[in-house]
Amino acid sequence: MICRSGPKQVANASAALIALLLVGCASLESTSSNSIGRTIAQADVAYQTLSVNHVSSYNSAVESIARKIDGETPEQLRSALNSVGVKLDQEKTQLPLARYHVAPRSSVPNESRNIGVPMLLDYDTSSARLYPRDGLITSATAVYRRISGRPHFCLLTAKEIELNGSIYPLKIDNVAPITEMARRGRYVARAGFRNMLRPGETPNAPGIYLTEPYNSNKIVLLIVPGLQSTPFAFVDLMKSIRSDAEIHEHVQVWTFLYATGTPVLFNALELRQQLGKTVATLDPQDHDFATRHIIVLGHSMGGLMAHTLVSSSGEKLWRALFAVPPQQLKGDKATIRQLVDGLHFHRNSRVIGAIFAATPHRGSDLAESWIGRFAASLIHVPSGLQSDFMKVTSENPNAATPAAKIFHREMNFSSVHTLSPHDPALQALADLPIEVPFHSVLGQHSPAPIETSSDGVVPYSSSHLDHAASELVVRSGHGVCENREAQREVLRILRLKLHNQSRLARQ
């Protein structure tokens, strides 16, 4: 995409400089007493004399304007520019724009021909359910130009621009928005442990949150965190995606935030329900490319939840826990309905691929260790959910399978307990065929034969799945998505998906 200004206005740079100093700057300053008039006048001179050899001076002049508007609201900026006869150009969005910020210099690329000043646009999301509560930050580039003789200050999201007859790539920082949103959301990141222990008291509603304005033409990468985690554990991966021009242009990241202490399969039910709500909100007519091309990345317990998006349960999970059909169960109908919904699912046709990162498909022995049992004892499953399950169990003493009776005799329905290798439902889930191409990214905590290795939490024997399109084992602990090699692997998989989609589109 190229943004074009008018034709080159002055052939001789020296003549332009003299004319502007004598006439142009005086007219701009005369309309206002504030200092922005002087910076606009300097930018006007730099614009009129701009050439490939004078990019630095032009950028410095535009940066002077940007520094003066740092932290201002759209109303304040528009008023200041109007006072000196300058028009503000920016793209219209559905979200209300709150403030402008200059991107930190330390993260700005330094290419000599790149033009403009990287900016951050800060959107108010207090009434936008699908975006982070602390605001959505996006990238833009500030430039100054004249169109039909009138001065314009522009905030652009294009790749390049034509100024005075030459095309320049725009200087933009796509990583800075993630850095700033992560800084604002630190309290959410720190709440992961608390949300696990007291899942019924989490202040943040469970849901899918977008990290950038919805684009109907971009593939979706849906990140599902694991136990005691939040989407902020994937900030480095998101930065890697933003730093790759091809992938960032074609892939948007959604994240799932939830209280991780409740049973695995009920967290999975919440994921499926929230994904349905998100798609219905963004694409009510059900015709967008994005909502039909979702790749799910699940880390640890999040991979188990992701498994329910890409397989079909039939009656296998139900029969792993119950010896009778649902209609024969006695007790609260709503609780029984929740059990039915949690143990039955169909492959979501919108999901075209999956990445499993350090996923305990067959459980983790840590859940059965004293540490796991201690952690499970600390988790306060919402009292209503716990009591409802116990009541159904007591009213149907002969309904459970022998394996389920043994496993649930302690009446512990926490997520940690349901990550045990002895959970019959978890074993049934592991055996369900995955109906999309999938990839595995695994950690190896210390040198050892891969077959007997572990990431410190999940053994290879549990995280390995046959029939994966690829499997990569990296030297890492359980937080494998923080590993650079693993991040490069995710980028490789995404690029492969993009090229496959491009090939299919040409056929």
CATH of the domain at 206: 3.40.50.1820
Query: What is the distance between the alpha carbons of residues 62 and 143, in angstroms, rounded to a whole number?
Result: 6
Do 25 and 133 belong to one domain? yes
Query: What is the distance between the alpha carbons of residues 274 and 292, in angstroms, rounded to a whole number?
Result: 16
Query: What is the distance between the alpha carbons of residues 447 and 290, in angstroms, rounded to a whole number?
Result: 41
What strands, in cross-sheet order, belong to the sheet with 2-4?
2-4, 160-163, 166-169
Instruction: Report if residue 145 sits inside a domain.
Output: yes
* Total number of domains in the chain: 2
Instruction: Report if residue 400 sits inside a domain.
Output: no
Do 263 and 120 belong to one domain? no
Domain membership of residue 209 as a residue range: 192-315+346-381+429-506
The token pair that represents 174 in the structure block: 């796509």
Q: What angle do CA 106, 111, 114 make, to 5 degrees?
A: 105
Task: Output the tens digit of pLDDT for each of the chain's 507 residues.
Answer: 555 544 444 333 333 333 333 334 334 443 333 578 899 999 999 999 998 888 999 999 999 999 999 999 999 999 999 999 999 999 888 899 999 999 997 655 566 789 999 999 999 999 999 999 889 999 999 999 999 999 999 999 988 999 988 999 999 999 999 999 999 887 776 665 555 545 455 656 789 999 999 999 999 999 999 887 788 889 999 999 999 999 999 999 999 998 877 788 989 999 999 999 999 999 999 999 999 999 999 999 999 999 999 999 999 999 999 999 999 999 888 889 999 999 999 999 999 999 999 999 998 876 654 344 444 444 445 555 666 777 788 888 888 899 988 877 665 556 666 788 889 999 999 999 999 999 999 999 988 899 999 999 999 999 999 999 999 999 999 999 999 999 999 999 999 999 888 776 665
Q: In 240-274, which positions are buried (b, 16+ CB within 10 angstroms) versus exposed (e)?
A: bbbebeebbebbbbbbbbbbbbbbbbbbbbbbbeb
Do 119 and 212 belong to one domain? no
Backbone angles phi, psi at 125, to 5 degrees: -115, 15
On whether the CB atoms of residues 326 and 340 are closer than 8 A, the answer is yes
